[in-house]
Amino acid sequence: MNEEQVIKEIKKALELNSETNLVEFKRAKGGFPKKESRKTLSAFGNAEGGIIVFGVEEKVDKTLEVVGVSETADLQEKMTSLSAEDMNVLLRLDYFLLEINKKTILAIHVPKCENHLRPYYIKELGFPNGAYVRDGNTDRKMTEEEMKNYVRNAQGDDFDGKCADNLIKEDLSITKIEDFLKKSAKKIGRIFDSVDDALLKNIGVARECKNVLRPTIAGYLIFANQNPQNTLQFERYKIRCVRFKGSGVASDIIDKADVVGTLDEQIDLMESFVLRNIKNSAEIVGAKRVERYEYPEKAVREILANAVIHRDYRITETYTQVNIFDDRIEVFNPGNLPPGVTVENIKDAQESRNRIIAARLNEMDYLEEYGRGIDIVFTLMSEWGLLPPIFKNSSNSFKVILPGEKLSQLNERQIKIWEYLLENQKINRKDVEKILPDTPLQTINYDLRKMKDTGLIHQEGKSVSTYYEANF
């Protein structure tokens, strides 16, 4: 939107004596209205864009008056910071210093958020609580039905179904595709005939781009006739695995590997790396010797497979990472959770940003049970006597933590403290007293000290201002 269009929309709103679906006025005389501004940012980003205007006041009688602003540089700086730090996606804002009614105002054009990145929301509040829509001239929280619509539209972006540039059908392994289709046909009692172009397009492995049949991104990542990472476009799709000697990244490295290959090969190699770097004990059950890893194998495999399947493959600045410590396993993925999936609903959600990758790897048995994988991880971790997995979702990354035996040696009181921390980010002694009524202060201090010693939490503040935060 250019300056002429911005002025036209502002004057139209002033003539109507009302904000509109495209224009939001802020007085900004008493300082930067941060909370209200980020709501409007979210609402305009989730719509077709809009204009935030600083320097117009709504008076008691509901009329509008241009009062102007003086600290325009400061307002611009704070809006830029708000967009970069408080929101889940960075939108490039356009600023216009205008003179209306002999007063200087600051108009900020908020562009429409790209379809595949929506919903656009406030990071601190998370999704869906921090997602707003423009309803006439007001900002309101997104409803559940609206959320579903945004998710469906975002999925329409279909990144993994796009053509892989500069590749042709012959860059796919037809032998591997035939083996896959034969096994799939056998599962459902059909007879496999042969691979043709129509079939490749039907399963999302190839598509026509500018009259040339090319592999899709999903097709090449799964069925390439060589390591996909040998191709420049795919060289960053490695998985970096590291085994640390202690509990932090500053400790010595015992083992490391950069895992390459097709996605199914990467899952197998990641699992092999993890299993060779975690404790494996044995016990006699009846007359048989039974080996058991510190973590349930199926849970490890499910988390690793999910990392590969749900990674945001648009992001190539960093790698998927698997870090193994003495007391936990951490799996880090570029990009946050798929649209519609939150830390709260992750056990039940079945959305994936990579529909073709998810479907094909599910058919290749790289998911424990489609749609129930995370729920199974919770069950298996409990059966192993371990704490449940911990999920950390941020604006540009997602981390899963599998706590090991050391971190899982908590009593019932300490588990309640830990669960509260996961929900509320921090806890103080008064909070502990509320969730553990009738528990002596000496016992509470013991529990907090024990959790500090095991590396679960750390202390912040002093004296009456002391509180505790989770280390993960």
Is the confidence at residue 70, as pLDDT, over 90?
A: no
Judged on CB neighbours under 10 Å (0-12, 13-18, 19+), 237 is buried
**What pLDDT score does 31 carry?**
80
SS3 (DSSP) at 284: strand
**What pLDDT score does 43 carry?**
94
Same domain, 126 and 246: no
Q: What percent of the chain has pLDDT over 70?
A: 93
Is the confidence at residue 291, as pLDDT, over 70?
A: yes
Token duo for residue 469: 């935060």
**What pLDDT score does 344 carry?**
67
Q: Which residue has the higher pLDDT, 408 or 356?
A: 356
Amino acid at 40: T
Same domain, 309 and 289: yes
Pick from 44-48, 159-163, 283-287: least confident: 283-287
Binning pLDDT at 50, 70 and 90, where does residue 48 land? confident
Q: How many domains does the chain have?
A: 4
Same domain, 297 and 416: no
C-alpha–C-alpha distance, residues 249 and 390, integer Å: 18
Answer for the pair 432, 417: CB distance below 8 angstroms, yes or no.
yes
Same domain, 210 and 349: no
Is the confidence at residue 402, as pLDDT, over 60?
A: yes
Q: What is the pLDDT of residues 4-23, one digit of tens each?
A: 999 999 999 999 899 999 99
Same domain, 108 and 48: yes
**What pLDDT score does 422 carry?**
72
Give me the mean pLDDT over the 370-388 stretch: 85
SS3 (DSSP) at 246: coil
Same domain, 390 and 449: no
Binning pLDDT at 50, 70 and 90, where does residue 396 land? low
C-alpha–C-alpha distance, residues 309 and 332, integer Å: 13
Same domain, 271 and 387: yes
**What pLDDT score does 96 carry?**
95
Same domain, 36 and 146: yes
Q: Which residue has the tokens 């600051």?
A: 106
Give me the mean pLDDT over the 384-389 stretch: 90
* Among 155, 182, 214, residue at a domain's last position: 155
Domain of 27, CATH number, reads: 3.30.950.30
Judged on CB neighbours under 10 Å (0-12, 13-18, 19+), 131 is buried
CA distances from 152 to 114, 149, 246 (A): 14, 5, 43
Q: What is the pLDDT of residues 334-350, one digit of tens each?
A: 877 766 666 667 766 66
Answer for the pair 101, 11: CB distance below 8 angstroms, yes or no.
no
Burial 224-233 (b: 16+ CB within 10 A, else e): beebbbebee
* Among 353, 377, 403, residue at a domain's last position: 403
C-alpha–C-alpha distance, residues 274 and 11, integer Å: 63
Domain of 254, CATH number, reads: 3.30.565.60
Cα 294 to the center of its chain, rounded Å? 27
Q: Which residue has the tokens 């042709």?
A: 168
Cα 112 to the center of its chain, rounded Å? 20
Binning pLDDT at 50, 70 and 90, where does residue 407 land? confident
Answer for the pair 91, 110: CB distance below 8 angstroms, yes or no.
yes
SS3 (DSSP) at 94: strand
Residues listed for the chain: 472
Cα 92 to the center of its chain, rounded Å? 21
CA distances from 178 to 172, 193, 199, 290 (A): 11, 9, 11, 37
Token duo for residue 73: 């540089």
Binning pLDDT at 50, 70 and 90, where does residue 170 land? very high
C-alpha–C-alpha distance, residues 387 and 402, integer Å: 8
Is the confidence at residue 358, as pLDDT, over 60?
A: yes
Q: Which residue has the higher pLDDT, 148 or 163?
A: 163
CA distances from 161 to 194, 351, 355 (A): 22, 16, 8
Name the β-bridge partners of 303. none
Same domain, 432 and 317: no
Q: What is the pLDDT of residues 200-248, one digit of tens each?
A: 999 999 999 989 999 999 999 999 999 999 999 899 999 999 999 988 8
Is the confidence at residue 260, as pLDDT, over 60?
A: yes
Instruction: Say how many C-beta atoms besides its own lie within 10 A of residue 149's C-beta.
Output: 14
Judged on CB neighbours under 10 Å (0-12, 13-18, 19+), 279 is exposed
Token duo for residue 110: 């908020």
**What pLDDT score does 463 carry?**
85
Q: Which residue has the higher pLDDT, 400 or 352?
A: 400
Is the confidence at residue 401, as pLDDT, over 80?
A: yes
* Among 195, 211, 231, residue at a domain's last position: 231
Pick from 152-161, 274-283, 442-451: least confident: 152-161
Give me the mean pLDDT over the 382-397 stretch: 83
Domain of 448, CATH number, reads: 1.10.10.10
Largest CA distance in the chain: 93
**What pLDDT score does 202 carry?**
94
Pick from 63-67, 122-126, 226-230, 300-304: least confident: 122-126
**What pLDDT score does 339 carry?**
61
Same domain, 19 and 109: yes
Q: What is the pLDDT of residues 441-459, one digit of tens each?
A: 999 999 999 988 888 889 9
Same domain, 136 and 169: no
Q: What is the pLDDT of residues 99-123, one digit of tens each?
A: 998 999 999 999 999 877 788 889 8
Same domain, 92 and 130: yes
Binning pLDDT at 50, 70 and 90, where does residue 371 land? low
Q: Which domain holds residue 293?
A: 239-403
Annotate 320-360 with DSSP letters as a single string. Answer: EEEEE-SSEEEEEEES-PPTT--TTTTTT----S-HHHHHH
> Which range has the top average pLDDT, 136-140, 284-288, 320-324?
320-324
